[in-house]
Amino acid sequence: MKRIKTDILIIGAGSGGLSVAAGAAQMGADVTLLEGHKMGGDCLNYGCVPSKALIASGKAAYGQRHAQAYGVENVAGAVDYAAAKDHVADVIATIAPVDSQERFEGFGVRVIREYGHFISHDEVQAGDTVIKARRIVIATGSSPLVPPIPGLDSVPYETNETLFDLRERPEHLLIIGGGPIGMEMAQAHIRLGSKVTVIEGDKALGKDDPELAKVVLDSLRDEGVEIAEDALAAEIRGKAGAIEVEAKDGRVFKGSHLLMAVGRKANVDKLDLAAGGVKPSRNGIMVDDSLRTSNRKVYAIGDVAGGLQFTHVAGYHAGVIIRSMLFGLPSKAKTAHIPWATYTDPELAQVGLTEAQARKKHGSALEVVRFDYAHNDRAIAERKTKGFIKVMVVKGRPVGVSIVGYQAGELINLWALALANNMKMSQIAAMVAPYPTIGEVNKRAAGAYFSPRLFESAMVKRVVGFVQRFVP
């Protein structure tokens, strides 16, 4: 058995673990990184990257079939599903060197390609190596949650970890789960020529503002996606190419392929947390505001920490714990400024409180301002007028922003900056946006907050009248 000592041991080479490794090593710490599977983790290999690449293929096919509005003849847009998957693989391969073992070894990181498990409060075994560390970071991420639905164990099904290896286009894709993953893959596949049925036990996109979610769901239905809500899967039966899902209320949905997209579970099974004195939680690992576990030497970040499950959150967590581990400074993770987006068409994005959450928290102090894409000149030129922005404002400061529409995931960045820095609506309104851009939607929303105060105020009108009469 080989034994080594290190300042920082990181378990998991996904986005969070890699961020810690790169930052800590380049600032002088001795860093060891364990990864038993693929460098880059879920995001690069099975999640964000391949899904957005497949969405891009679907968007290209849809654009060919819907070009007439721009003075260009519609064409059939024949889809080569295998070639679309080649595109996905090429995108992954292009990004992979950034997350590669070689690159991180270049930073001075000791990379061990084995899974790790605790054998004491400050020791982890990985293969034939025992690593003793001053600080340990658990960054093992999450995996697809596959619920114990009767019959599922006897029927072939896909998850996000297998879907992108599928080479033959599904004739009729059944998707159990109407969250962001389910809806993104539903739209991608309907555009690539499959029939698609989404089976959701509650409400599709149920974690988002229902007013905005409706815009997305209506768009998907218009494209031909069948979305069955309040359809809790009770039994699955059939065989490859002929699968049936029966809902609790008796509805039966038939298709050729099945995708399970009901959520994620934290990857903790291989860790032997008890040996490390690390307490689990219902959603992963129990952490405090500093992302420390019950063992003060051990941190948990990203999906395994049991909070918001987004790649950018894992990266943010990395910055929080680097401040603590390397510099001994107090550092706490917050969530109020964390944005997220669903990359359907139209896109759906959120930061801070939704309208319902803001009303519950702030009551009568809340003001809600809106601006529709239909009044944005660039959106009109691009024929992307479906959607709107909604800003929740309390005492002149935004506390939440919801956007549905073209490039919503890009527009939300400004509001994430505003919430992170406690900015005022006046600062947003002071921004000069180039014309014509979709980004003017943000400035016009801020203008909608001030318009009544300027144009409907008797005091303002009296002041203007006085100046016009008496000031030379």
User: Could you read off the pLDDT of 199-248 as tens digits, one per residue?
Assistant: 999 999 999 999 999 999 999 999 999 999 999 999 999 999 999 999 99
Strand partners, 366: 394
Secondary structure of residue 20 in the 3-state scheme = helix
Residue type, 458: A
179 is in an annotated binding site: yes
Query: pTM above the 0.85 mark?
Result: yes
141 is in an annotated binding site: yes
396 is in an annotated binding site: no
CA distances from 188 to 58, 60, 255, 378 (A): 5, 10, 17, 25
Secondary structure of residue 81 in the 3-state scheme = helix
Identical fold for domains 2-39+100-143+265-327 and 339-455, yes or no, is no
- 159, 260 contact by CB (below 8 A): yes
For 454, left (φ over 0), alpha (ψ -120 to 50), or beta? alpha
392 is in an annotated binding site: no
Q: How many CB atoms lie within 10 A of CB 472?
A: 2
140 is in an annotated binding site: yes
CA 379 to chain centre: 25
345 is in an annotated binding site: no
52 is in an annotated binding site: yes
- Looking at the chain, the whole-number percentage of residues with pLDDT higher than 90 is 93
Q: In whole angstroms, what is the distance from residue 353 CA to residue 11 CA?
A: 33
- pLDDT for the residue 459: 73
- pLDDT for the residue 460: 64
398 is in an annotated binding site: no
What confidence tens digit (pLDDT) does each residue in 143-174 have? 999 999 999 999 999 999 999 999 999 999 99
The per-residue pLDDT of the chain, averaged, comes to: 95
Q: Domain 339-455 - what CATH class?
A: alpha beta
347 is in an annotated binding site: no
What confidence tens digit (pLDDT) does each residue in 84-97 have? 999 999 999 999 99
178 is in an annotated binding site: yes
Mean pLDDT of 278-302: 97
Q: Domain 2-39+100-143+265-327 - what CATH class?
A: alpha beta
Residue 431 has pLDDT above 90, yes or no: yes
230 is in an annotated binding site: no
- pLDDT for the residue 453: 67
- pLDDT for the residue 467: 74
CB under 8 Å to 332, separation ≥6 — which residues? Answer: 289, 290, 320
Residue 77's pLDDT band (cuts 50, 70, 90): confident
Which of the four CATH numbers 3.50.50.60, 3.30.300.30, 3.40.630.30, 3.30.70.1350 does domain 152-263 have? Answer: 3.50.50.60
184 is in an annotated binding site: yes
Residue 457 has pLDDT above 70, yes or no: no
116 is in an annotated binding site: yes
193 is in an annotated binding site: no
CB under 8 Å to 214, separation ≥6 — which residues? Answer: none
Residue 466 has pLDDT above 90, yes or no: no
- pLDDT for the residue 464: 67
Residue 9 has pLDDT above 80, yes or no: yes
277 is in an annotated binding site: no
142 is in an annotated binding site: yes
- 133, 5 contact by CB (below 8 A): yes
What confidence tens digit (pLDDT) does each residue in 26-66 have? 999 999 999 999 999 999 999 999 999 999 999 999 999 99
What confidence tens digit (pLDDT) does each residue in 363-390 have? 999 999 999 999 999 999 999 999 999 9
Question: Scanning the structure block, which residue is given the tokens 């979305």?
Answer: 227
Domain ranges of the chain: 2-39+100-143+265-327, 152-263, 339-455
Q: Can you read off the two tokens belonging to residue 347?
A: 């896109």
